[in-house]
Chain A
Amino acid sequence: MRTLILLLSFFAATATAGESLIVLKDRLGKNQVVAQCSVCHSLDYITMHASILNRAGWEKTVGKMINVMGAPINDADKRIIIDYLAQNYGK
């Protein structure tokens, strides 16, 4: 919980006004996607890649965010996030 509050405060500090207008599809897994991905970047990074990345592409991208960019996402959330992105923003 402490980590979550810390992360949310980071988010608040760097978020811009316009990005609150980005609405992701309201399906299972959205909460995890918003909570984890928007710590470091706006969610238009996701809509920008809609129809560009297939499931394998989203797996690779989420893997890069964890292994290279250092996102602290556990395995359970990782699966949920990949499923959400592949199902709702997959090629």
Chain B
Amino acid sequence: MVGRRQFLKKAAGSLASLGGLSLLQRSVFAAATGAEESAILDALPGKEALIKKTYRPPNYETPVSYFDTPFTPNNRFFVRYHNAVIPEVKVSEWRLHVGGDAVRTPLELTLEQLRKDFKPVEIAALCLCSGNRRGLFQPHVPGVQWGSGAMGNARWRGVLLKDVLAGAGIGKSAVEVSLDGADSGVLKTTPDFIKSLPLAKALDENTLIAFEMNGEPLPHWNGFPARLVIPGWTATYWMKHLTAVNVLSKPFDGFWMKTAYRIPKDRFPSGQFSSQETATTTPVTEMVVNSLITNLANGQTLSADKPTEIKGVAWDGGNGIAQMEVSTDGGISWHKATLKQDLGRFSWRQWHYVFEPKRTGEYRIMARATSHSGASQPLEPVPNPSGYHHNAVQKIIIQVA
């Protein structure tokens, strides 16, 4: 529970940050629906002004124009919570509990023990909300009406979850590993935000308990002092303020697994979570191939006199990006864009394309990524009740004058 002093401090921080907002009050919002009414620029303490979707629990997305660097700065990184009680964790009081009915020896670890007793690992990975671009679905579906900014790319440093689990010992009956964080609902009756992973994913050589992000301790709003990082999977599993890891002999049946974050079975290529599948649905897991133009907006006017560099990012669930194409005629012809440095298969990949318009007038700009698995983006998003995995080819109409 947040104490009164802490609340006053928070409130003062929010007020102090309001002063800088007017300069940023430009139309940086994606064309996202009735969401516009609730979206304004606002800064959480320690963050730059981001696009506020909801104040409490805090849901803030990054303006797309900030996606012009290989890694997203921590103070510009998006914020997403399900419940409103978010304690500021003190490292001296923080413990990671490793338990569950299928663990041999339950453990309790301090941050210092995590850092000292296990091999450090660093990985570049995109953190992407399952519902990113939900606000672009037509017809609209309920949920936070995200534009394109509920994502960020970072270098995550920590230790392997499998090394920590090995220290506790995994019983033969283990099926899943559940994850809990320090945040909770206001009412005791509200289901705590708890997620689970299939055992194989928990033991994956890339699944981390991270305590650093881009060379700094995790920001409070991104999970201080430690969070899960599951490269290639959507951020719903990347538990912030991690407090408990439980090895379970039965599928976890809490609301956030059994009911929420589900997609119709067989509609997307991903899967890999057989213990949670029902006859009709499966949990959202691996990110689908996707891309974003980061330096153009609908209705923008470009100069006919000089070439324009169209820039963006592309990503998928871990196969890596093989090819990026741009169309300037609404998809009639496609041209190869140049891929920038490969930062690893779980990182997004920056790309650019030099656009040299031959005439003035309207141009329909589109961008399409293809992964090393051969998957590429559809022209329309794949409908699903909760608005996940929006990966349709982007269409931006601009003028050249």
Contact = CB atoms under 8 A, between A and B. Distances in A.
Interface of A: 10-19, 22, 39-42, 44-45, 47-53, 57, 61, 68-72
For chain A, what secondary structure do more than half of its interface residues adopt (helix, strand, loop), or is it mixed? loop
Contacts of A69: 185, 187, 189-191
Given A16-B55, A45-B54, A68-B255, A40 B186 contact: yes
B14 interface: yes
Interface stretch (B35-43, B122-130, B165-173, B309-317): B35-43
Nearest to B260: A68
Contacts of A71: 187, 189
Interface string B46-88: 0000001111111000000000000000000000000011000
Contacts of B190: 40, 69-70
Contacts of A53: 142
Contact of B38 (A12, A39, A48, A70): A48
A48 B191 contact: no
Contacts of A39: 186-187
Nearest to B13: A17
Nearest to B15: A17
Contacts of B382: none
Contacts of A68: 191, 255, 259
Contacts of B3: 13
21 contacts: A10-B186, A10-B187, A13-B1, A14-B85, A14-B186, A15-B56, A18-B55, A19-B56, A39-B186, A40-B84, A45-B54, A47-B37, A48-B144, A49-B34, A49-B145, A52-B33, A52-B140, A68-B255, A69-B185, A70-B187, A71-B189
A71 B84 CA distance: 14
B2 interface: yes
For chain B, what secondary structure do more than half of its interface residues adopt (helix, strand, loop), or is it mixed? loop
Closest 10 CB pairs of A and B: A70-B189, A44-B38, A42-B55, A48-B38, A19-B55, A42-B56, A51-B34, A17-B14, A17-B11, A52-B140
Given A53-B142, A70-B190, A14 B54 contact: no
Interface residues of B, number: 40
A4 to B, nearest CB: 14
Contacts of B84: 14, 40-41
Contact of A44 (B54, B85, B142, B188): B54
Contacts of B52: 18, 44
Contacts of B116: none
B145 A14 contact: no
Nearest to B43: A18
